[in-house]
Structure 1
């Protein structure tokens, strides 16, 4: 996994579609869903960590954009 799209595709495999309408909120909801999958032992720790890092990076980018 390398991008936000990859995380979306991972969630999609489990029937999780996220669209709130504002990108930063979408990212936050994806973080929650990813954590739930990990805590339910549906995905491996490595997959969770990769996704978490991508979402963290994207969230930071969105915060920077909103700060302008």
Structure 2
């Protein structure tokens, strides 16, 4: 798992489709959903850790991008 698209596909396997309209909010909501799947033992720890690393990187990059716009 290397991209946000990969994380979206993982969530899609569980019927979770996320689109709020704001990329930062989408990422944060995906993190929440992943944590819930992990706490419910629905996904493996390895998938959870990899997906969270991807989302944290995307979150940081999006914050940097938005700060650069101001």
TM-score, normalised with respect to structure 2:
0.96
The root-mean-square deviation of aligned C-alpha atoms, in Å, is: 0.4
Q: How many residues align?
A: 68
Runs of 4+ in 1 over 6 A off after TM superposition: none
Structure 1: segments with no counterpart, 5+ residues: none
Per-residue deviation, 1:19:
0.3
Determine the structure 1 residue equivalent to 2:61.
61
Structure 2: gaps (5+ residues): none
Kindly name which structure, 1 or 2, has the bigger radius of gyration based on alpha carbons: 2
Paired position in structure 1 for 2:37: 37
Q: Normalising by structure 1, what TM-score? A: 0.98
Residue 62 of structure 1, CA deviation: 0.3
CA distance in 2, matches of 1:13, 1:44: 13
